[in-house]
Chain A
Amino acid sequence: MQEQFSFPLLTMFVFAPVIGMAAILLVPSKRADIIKTVAAAAAAVPLMIGLYLFFAFRDTGALQYRENLLWIDGLNVHYALGIDGLSVPMVVLSGVVGFLAVVASWGIEKQIKGYFALILMLLSGMNGVFCALDFFLFYVFWEVMLLPMYFLIGIWGGPNRVYAAIKFFLYTMAGSVLMLVVLLATWYWSDGSYANVNNPAELAAVNAAKESVVALRAGAFDRLAMIDPDITRVPARLKRAVLAQDGVAWAGNVDRDLINAKDLKLRLDNLPPTIDGDKHKVELEKAQLLLTVKLERTFSLTELKERYLLFTGSFKLFEFLRPLPFAALMFVFLYVAFAIKVPVFPFHTWLPWAHVEAPTAISVILAGILLKMGVYGFLRISFGLFPTEAVHFAVPMAVFGVFNILYGACCAMAQDDMKKLVAYSSVSHMGFCMLGMAAMTTWGMTGSVLQMFNHGTSTSMMFLLVGVIYDRAHHREINKFGGIANQMPVYAGMMTLALFASMGLPGLSGFVSEILVFLGSFRSDMGNYSRPDLSFQSMTVIAAIGVVLTAGYLLWMMQRVFFGPLNERYKGYADMNGREMFTLVPLAVIVIGLGVYPQPLINLTKNSVEKLQQHVLRSNGIESAERTLKTMADRAAPAAPAPLAAEPAPAHVESAPAPKPAADPERTSELEPQRGVEADPVKAREVAMAGEGR
């Protein structure tokens, strides 16, 4: 039971930057060097933890490193942290990019103290979002991150900084308000009080939720009983730790509820399969037993995910409006909240402004980490809490994803400002995440998570590189450059690497995620379950055009900035210095490393992705298309032709003619003799010819 006292790794991960911020506030503002060192040290802690997790984390599909403390008693709000395969890549990314962004801020000269304090606070907020397992806590971190970002853009930004900062703030606030509605509504709904118990399906949902709660509590009881059979004597600290490990959200009298739950679980387990030969009576009996259980309202994301069946019924926004289906409405609200962050067309116009005006390091954080919070939110919250709606809205989400890819690329082509171009390329690339996610195949969803990570690194590189040239030339007008490659060869080389990574060149990281997204969406069958009925194949084909457009705008930028005769103005510019190399080389190593050997990152996430996919599909009663494929692949792997006839695959093939199955006598008669073609080739030929004649 030693692990229950384990080091609060995630708390360190989230709060180390805030501690650094507090330390900075104590340092006199004149001591810039101390401030910077402290900031770097504080940002290094999440980096170390991120790297540690990259190597040590084994994705089982379950949440790990959990911490759970009751925070607000009456509302059942918990301080719950934990990570699984969905969050670990983001945790690693956040650690790396956050640290590099702090280092990249070394050249800041205006109000150093405030800047570094705010950037550390920003890091804490983002780290918190990726670790929070409580919806309330998630929301708090989400909002905490907003404030420093506003000031960082608004004070340290370019000429239009105030406009950009306000725009960013209002946009995101608009999304946050909708998320707040969902937060409150799901809390109210989570105890089943809005479920219609006269409806058997909804009653079953309530009972299922209750059962899962009972099972969780009984499990916690068992573990506590291993420490001391009389669980009331277990020290409170230990109790908290055990409850945290099981992810049991808690309020009220712990011991009494645990003992009751254990008792109830035993009685439920001991129910016979039938009573008087009637299964229905067992259900009734079970319902009777569960009547005594009262569901607590909860913000816990894990429990809300278990109780997704409770999010039924309808919701009336205003008296004069038709009542809307609750789950769909909530999904749409969340969609808007997260889509603003991603950003998805048409909620994207804050992004170019924020990027262009923000200082380099903030652009890096913005593109490298912040945008991923949106996609992460989709996966963690939207898909978890509203799996049925996720399937219903798969096609619209994918359509917006595809539109993002093409629209972002077209807009990027029209830009004259390097930063704006990179910003629009982010819009385009995040579309891949949307497409892969909506495809709901493991390939697509894995690709989506990978794309988040890979886009984070390659775009961070690009922003850092744009910062490098901006520091020298003090402008970013693409058309005013020319021939820089001659003057700054290392810089040009790095930029080439970043551009090709972003373009998805094989051997660099972007390729793996793009190809997985495309493969996943090309083989997705979500088109059949979602409205409007669009096939994912056609959407993939359209999205793939983005590959050409991306090459177009990136190379065109390259052409105008780096090639051609050297513009005299830029003669004598120094190539990249040590600090700039220090920020870029690690990213370059990641980009190449994960392009050549992406498996560590895939392993980090694939089980959790598969689990989420199963959660979504199973709640819709869909069998995963890939499962079928897997069994097919297994069947075909040892495909020695000799036992082929005995194999189910050809039989499957033969019985599969969709319009008219075995009813077509001509067909069956034609297929039959083909097996014996070696024995009687002449006959087979005749048959083949007959088939031709038809």
Chain B
Amino acid sequence: MEFLKDILPEWITAADKFRPVYANGLFLIPLLPLLGFLTNAVSRGKLSAGVSGAVASIAAFLSFVWAYLCFASCAGPLASVDAMGGIHPAMKTVPLHAVYGTWIEAGGFKCSFGLMMDQLSGVMCLVTGVRTLIHIYSMGYMAHDKSVARYFSYLNLFLFSMLVLILGDNLILTFVGWEGVGLCSYLLIGFWYEDGEKAAAGMKAFVFNRVGDLGFILGIFTLVAAFGTADYIATTGKIGTYTKPVVGPRKVIEVDEAAPEGKRERLVVVMPDHPGLLDYAEGLSMVSTADSMAKLPLGYKADRGNFDLSGTMGPKVFPAGWTFKFAITLACLMLFIGACGKSAQLPLYAWLPDAMAGPTPVSALIHAATMVTAGVYMVVRMAPFYVMAPDALEVVAVVGACTALFAALIGLTQTDIKKVLAYSTVSQLGYMFLGAGVGAFALAIFHVVTHAFFKALLFLCSGSVIHAMSGEQDMTKMGGLRKYLPVTYWTMLIGSIALAGIFPFAGWWSKDAILANVLAKAEHDSMYWILYLMGCVGAFCTAFYSFRLIGLTFFGECRASDEVKHHIHESPPSMTVPLMVLAVFAVISGWWLHADLVTFLFIGKEAVQNAENEHVHHLNLLITSAAALGGVIAACLIYIKGGKIPKPAQTRNPLVRLSFNKFYLEWFYDHVVTGVFAIFAEALHLFVDVLIIDFLIVNGVGKLVRGAGGALRRTQSGLINVYATGILVGALVVLFYLLRG
């Protein structure tokens, strides 16, 4: 990625002398959007729409520029390793790291305000750079809204949270950003809260995310319980402690021809010049590659991780039988639940399609380009742990593949233009997790990058279409927009090709590489054949629905009402210019980055993308290209040439109905789960609280006492003969007792 550095003047990047400046200045990256947020929040709508948009955009842009400077300074090898010397060796790996103070410290647990930018977070920061374009686009799109300042303040708050998520140097800080983006997503989805349904969609998003967050915090608890800290560097370092022979120095397999049969492969230890944080993961995955060559399941399966944790972490903290590996696997699975929530994977995906209720730029920024990839980021960030937990990785891969196929199938029949893109996002996120699940962490991030470009492009194009159609989102009421919206048409076509995965557009490079890795894995573990097949069918569906979208929207006769037709116009330049910029990236980013990005994320990763995959690559190329082209051709035949207008709501075809109704899963969530829970809560309150405790026990005791008092009161009648009788009876009883005794 040296080219990032090359376009900067020499004096900025030449020496290491600016490193401390960049490191200590990391806080500026999130601070600038925060200031933008405060400005817009405090002004309380007194600024004009243009000014508040400009404030937000400038804040986003400056933050991006600063992030770029910081990143470019650490792209490429360090001039001298000693610059970071004298610290924990794992620290060397983090090119920029600054600790600004302690946030929480109690009883040996410490969580600091620390930001770090390494290769991974640097790339993610730049991806978030799409934000500036979306800010500018928003200035045009939201110009007529009455609460623009609120909109831009939320947008900046979102950026702040996202940057904290990415740059935080410990899991807790990441969680802060994690919840922060959830909050902003809630606020932005429900931005037009006068519409109760939109507000409800926001609520749904937040609650689904909370379910994921539950997993996330439990994962954090497990890791903190096992390591005593949530710090990335410290925990990764500790894995090194427990698995010392494996991590640190990396191992490469060397074939020795001279050696006797069966002993030709041997591990050669390579000491990296400047190991990255992720190199720990790589070091581990190298061993797992060696294992897999020996027909062993993926991952680190040697017995070293199996020592009993209950003896090591203080007296009797963990139940007996908890091994280190078990704890790591548990933590990874829990964290993955969090990722499922945020990145809309099965079974927690249902909020994302509803989230399209928000303004379209928000859908592009939050629900396609950045926030939803946070889960992928987190899994990759935790890669050193995941490779220690092959079972967890397997789960990641399976969930990813299932989601990729499931959402693509739903996308086939949707008629709402944004819903199609939403399901497509869910599906693409599934590919990313599939990639991470087979150990191709760098490729998952590669797909995040390319997807960010083309999906943001597609959403913004759909926004342009919706803008032109006076708010209409139903594709069956569009058609023939090619002539009216030429810029939008061409850019959206580019986005769709990229999404469909046609060579040489961006989507092809990343998706194909991920599927190639799945195929390579399948040679050793037949389960991955199924996953590969699902991925290919998903690719076919992706190509099909993206061209179905193009066909329905831009080709054929215009089906809109005359009044709408009258208003159709191309969008203003503030909206079309970002489209064009993004379209350029959607074309070139895959080709441009494919050589660099992977090696950049994992130094010396070529060794792992090993040559044995050569034939795999060819086979895969054939299959995926056939799938993608097949999908495109089929869609073109049906929707462009055939001019078919789908009516899935009226169709009798059970498969179409199933797909159109999202396999009834969302119906199940919306009605059965919430309904059952509401009834349960109501019953619990009425039965236990009101009836048993309050009525029977508490008031029952009161009534009993009062009743007893009332009964006894009768004896105080004031009649002398009653008293005399009482005395007589009493005397007789006493007499009887004494005589007996």
Q: Do these two chains really belong together in a complex?
A: yes
Interface residues of A (CB under 8 A from B): 167, 170-171, 346, 349, 407, 410-411, 413-415, 441-443, 446-447, 482-483, 485-486, 500, 505-507, 511-512, 515-516, 518-520, 522-525, 528, 535, 537, 540-541, 544-545, 547-548, 551-552, 555-556, 558-559, 562-566, 597-599, 602, 606, 610, 622-623, 625-630, 632-633, 636-641, 644, 647, 649-650, 652-654, 656-659, 667, 670-671, 674-675, 677-678, 681-682, 684-685, 688-689, 691-692, 694
Q: List 25 A-B contacts (CB under 8 A).
A: A410-B684, A410-B685, A413-B681, A414-B681, A414-B682, A414-B684, A443-B106, A506-B178, A507-B179, A511-B176, A519-B221, A519-B224, A525-B315, A548-B213, A559-B196, A565-B194, A632-B314, A636-B228, A641-B248, A650-B244, A658-B311, A678-B269, A682-B267, A688-B302, A692-B296
Interface string of B41-59 (1 = CB under 8 A from A): 0000000000000000000
**Assuming A623-B315, A658-B311, is B194 touching A602 (CB within 8 A)?**
no
* Interface size counted on chain B using CB atoms at 8 A: 93
Q: Does B217 contact A (CB under 8 A)?
A: yes
**Assuming A518-B217, A629-B313, is B103 touching A551 (CB within 8 A)?**
no
**Assuming A565-B194, A657-B308, is B225 touching A684 (CB within 8 A)?**
no
A692 touches B678 (CB 8 A): no
Interface string of B669-691 (1 = CB under 8 A from A): 00000000110111011101100
A641 touches B244 (CB 8 A): yes
How far is B176's CA from A655's CA once the two chains are assembled, in angstroms? 38
In the assembled complex, the CB of A364 is this many whole angstroms from the nearest CB of chain B, namely 23
Chain A residues whose C-beta falls within 8 Å of the C-beta of B320 in the assembled complex = 658
Taking CB as reference atom, which chain A residue is nearest B682? Answer: A414
Q: Which of B218, B225, B241, B310 is in CB contact (< 8 Å) with A644?
A: B241
Taking CB as reference atom, which chain B residue is nearest A352? Answer: B689
A551 touches B218 (CB 8 A): no
Q: Which of A522, A610, A685 is in CB contact (< 8 Å) with B107?
A: A610
A692 touches B302 (CB 8 A): yes
A563 touches B196 (CB 8 A): yes
How far is B196's CA from A483's CA once the two chains are assembled, in angstroms? 9
Q: Does B568 contact A (CB under 8 A)?
A: no
How far is B315's CA from A31's CA once the two chains are assembled, in angstroms? 66
Taking CB as reference atom, which chain A residue is nearest B300? Answer: A688
B109 touches A519 (CB 8 A): yes
Q: Does B190 contact A (CB under 8 A)?
A: yes
In the assembled complex, the CB of B302 is this many whole angstroms from the nearest CB of chain A, namely 4
Chain A residues whose C-beta falls within 8 Å of the C-beta of B152 in the assembled complex = none
B103 touches A442 (CB 8 A): no
Known pairs A411-B681, A559-B200, A564-B195. 20 more at Cβ < 8 A? Answer: A346-B693, A407-B684, A407-B688, A414-B682, A414-B685, A446-B106, A485-B193, A522-B224, A622-B315, A625-B316, A626-B108, A627-B314, A628-B314, A629-B314, A636-B237, A638-B88, A647-B241, A656-B311, A674-B244, A682-B266
Chain A residues whose C-beta falls within 8 Å of the C-beta of B237 in the assembled complex = 636, 639
How far is B303's CA from A377's CA once the two chains are assembled, in angstroms? 50
Q: Which of B203, B303, B698 is in CB contact (< 8 Å) with A349?
A: B698
A639 touches B241 (CB 8 A): yes
How far is B214's CA from A194's CA once the two chains are assembled, in angstroms? 51
How far is B194's CA from A483's CA once the two chains are assembled, in angstroms? 6
A681 touches B106 (CB 8 A): no
A443 touches B109 (CB 8 A): yes
B315 touches A625 (CB 8 A): yes
In the assembled complex, the CB of B335 is this many whole angstroms from the nearest CB of chain A, namely 14
Chain A residues whose C-beta falls within 8 Å of the C-beta of B312 in the assembled complex = 652-653, 656
Taking CB as reference atom, which chain A residue is nearest B702? Answer: A170
Taking CB as reference atom, which chain B residue is nearest A676? Answer: B245
B689 touches A349 (CB 8 A): yes
Chain A residues whose C-beta falls within 8 Å of the C-beta of B221 in the assembled complex = 518-519, 522-523, 540
Interface string of B106-127 (1 = CB under 8 A from A): 1111000000000000000000
B245 touches A677 (CB 8 A): yes
**Assuming A562-B193, A625-B315, is B176 touching A547 (CB within 8 A)?**
no
A639 touches B106 (CB 8 A): no
Chain B residues whose C-beta falls within 8 Å of the C-beta of A626 in the assembled complex = 107-108, 314
Q: Does B663 contact A (CB under 8 A)?
A: no
Taking CB as reference atom, which chain B residue is nearest A675? Answer: B245
**Assuming A525-B316, A525-B317, is B108 touching A629 (CB within 8 A)?**
yes
Taking CB as reference atom, which chain A residue is nearest B197? Answer: A564
Chain B residues whose C-beta falls within 8 Å of the C-beta of A442 in the assembled complex = 106-108
A410 touches B104 (CB 8 A): no
Chain B residues whose C-beta falls within 8 Å of the C-beta of A167 in the assembled complex = 698
In the assembled complex, the CB of A634 is this many whole angstroms from the nearest CB of chain B, namely 9
A552 touches B109 (CB 8 A): no
